[in-house]
Amino acid sequence: MEAVQLPTEKEEASEENGGGGASEAPEAAAATSYNMPLAENEEEEDGEFPADFDRLWKLAHDNPQDFSSWTDLLQYCEQESHMTASRRALVAFLARYPLCYGYWKKFADLERRAGYTNKAQEVCVQGLKAIPLSVDLWIHYINLLLGTLNMNLPESSQRIRSAFEEAVTAAGLDFHSDRLWELYIEWEKEQGDMKAATGVYDRVLRVPTQLYSSHYEKFKTHLNAHAPKDVLSAVEYEGLLEESKQSHKTEKSELAEGEEELPPGEEKEPTEQVSTLFWSSSVLSLVGNIYLSSLLFPFLPSFQIKRPYFHVKPLDRTQLRAWHSYLDWDEIVAGGDRRVRILFERCLIACALYEEFWTKYVQYLEPQSLDEARGVFRRACEIHLAHKHTMHLQWATFEERHGDLTEARRVLEALETSVPGLAMVRLRRAGLERRAGRLDESEALLRDAVAQAKETPYLHAFYSIKLARLLLKLCKNPSKARGVLQEALEISPDDGKLHLNLLELEVSGDPRGSAEGVQQCVARALAAPLSPQTKILFSQRGLQYAEDYGTSVQSVLTVYEEHQKLLKELGNKKRVAENG
């Protein structure tokens, strides 16, 4: 489950009017991830779109990461009171920024005002799928049900109670979930079911929330204000009654001096009701034990988190550190898988744009469930971090590590489509195919990269070197490798790395047949527009090769004389440059 508790009322107003999270998922993903409702024949509902709709729509879609362009579009549609335009804009916006709970509320209210009660409920349901930890959205949904259901029907009460149960199951462990619990308790009291209200109190007092002490005091008042039979279940009341009887017997056996005993065979009839004094002491003991047990949970980290909702603005370092320490504490000290997951989901609302928190969550889930870890990757990469390539690369590595090469390929291909031109992604794709034993596919990917980079010489040289090494080292085809480097040198004759890789290729061959190729490579480098230092280096490598593998002393002397001539010529140029 996912979510963050509501900010204060002041923060809430700010959030609804512009707050939100920067998810960058394509609009198409919305249709599959969130089945947001659209009215039938919506184009005909309000006639033509307002005058500036197309312009603002285009601005938002041309730069979907610009949050303000979306809010301008939504504000314009709201001002124009155009149902179809507002609906279309909200669907597209929430596809990219699904954690903006304020806009889910606006969407539901829009449908309700238009008379589409069922659609308003559907919007809330879809919003809660996107952000199930949002206490504010749960309250909005429950209030919508309370305002639209016929409460004279018995099934309506059951539906409300079911909604409350879903809400506290999804978001009840949140530090800021107090308003949800209070609403649940008050509703049960309005139904006249004090026993159910007691049960809800018992549950909330086992959760460390921001207003825990307030719940504690209200629970004591609730228990003291009603007879035990009215607030306890039958099992609890029978247990309390038995304790009261035992207490009565103990008191009877410890009579004070001078108290008259009853005649043999006569005893006071045991009371069938719990005494007020015993009930009062039991109340204090009951709530006191719950209170003390819950005090074991620390509250400080949650108080340090000032912005628990989602927004495009960066978080300050203090809050980021608080989230890190809070997650570390909950994992190591508190334990409890359910609490840890809730805390991670809560964190990923406020910190959805920070890759380290998604990575941390995956690391926690991976030993338990690969599918759940994969789901976290999918949410991060397809919605919130669509243009953050490092997260996609982590996902691809995860899939490859666990043997799903098809999914790893799909992730990398999708990333290269959405963020084209990243050398890291193309190399990762080629490396994946190489590790899978598909050298032909790896070669094809690198050749395609070389072809596409002809207009960018440094990138063309980079890919050419990678392709040549693959052909030489793994494909065992030095001829193809040599051809790749020679073609690259025609485009980038001044690239020293190309010359150096071609020289290494020639040097690595059989000395009995490589001498001519080595000296040709050296001659090509000396004729190229390279720096004097680089040329001297190549000449030295050529001389060293001749000394190591030359077949005649004359050939060595020839290379040596050429090298000395170069040193004299370029050495003087070098000294002039250094001195002047």
Residues of the chain with pLDDT under 50: 1-44, 251, 254-258, 262, 266-267, 269-272, 274, 277, 292-293, 295-300, 575-580
Residue 536 located in a structural domain: yes
In Å, the largest CA–CA distance within the chain is 138
Cβ atoms < 10 Å from Cβ of 128: 25
End-to-end CA distance of the chain: 69
The structure's pTM equals 0.73
pLDDT of residue 3: 38
What residues contact 290, with CB distance under 8 A and at least 6 apart?
Answer: 202, 205, 206, 216
Rounded-to-integer distance, Cα 29 and Cα 383, Å: 8
Rounded-to-integer distance, Cα 565 and Cα 419, Å: 51
Q: How many domains does the chain have?
A: 2
Residue 462 located in a structural domain: no
- Tokens representing residue 104 in the block: 């889910």
pLDDT of residue 84: 92
Find the domain containing 523 and state its range.
514-580
Give yes or no for a contact between 12 and 106, defined as CB atoms under 8 angstroms apart: no
What pLDDT, in 10s, does the model give residues 314-341?
888 888 888 888 787 655 555 578 888 8
Rounded-to-integer distance, Cα 554 and Cα 556, Å: 5
pLDDT of residue 284: 53
Residue 235 located in a structural domain: yes
Cβ atoms < 10 Å from Cβ of 359: 16
Give yes or no for a contact between 83 and 115, defined as CB atoms under 8 angstroms apart: no
Helices within 63-209 (DSSP H only)? 67-80, 83-96, 101-113, 117-130, 135-148, 154-171, 178-190, 194-204
pLDDT of residue 324: 87
Element (H, E) at 288: helix 276-294
What residues contact 363, with CB distance under 8 A and at least 6 apart?
Answer: none
Give yes or no for a contact between 89 and 103, defined as CB atoms under 8 angstroms apart: no
Rounded-to-integer distance, Cα 304 and Cα 421, Å: 41
What pLDDT, in 10s, does the model give residues 408-459?
999 999 999 999 989 999 999 999 999 999 999 999 999 999 999 999 999 9
Residue 360 located in a structural domain: no
Residue 539 located in a structural domain: yes
What type of residue sits at position 18?
A: G
Q: Which of 416, 396, 417 is nearest to 407 (CA)?
A: 396
- Tokens representing residue 231 in the block: 């607030």
Give yes or no for a contact between 565 and 526, defined as CB atoms under 8 angstroms apart: no
Residue 141 located in a structural domain: no
Give yes or no for a contact between 230 and 274, defined as CB atoms under 8 angstroms apart: no
Q: Which of 510, 509, 450, 531 is nearest to 484 (CA)?
A: 450
Rounded-to-integer distance, Cα 267 and Cα 386, Å: 80
Residue 184 located in a structural domain: yes
**Which of these three, 298, 331, 364, is where a domain ends?**
298
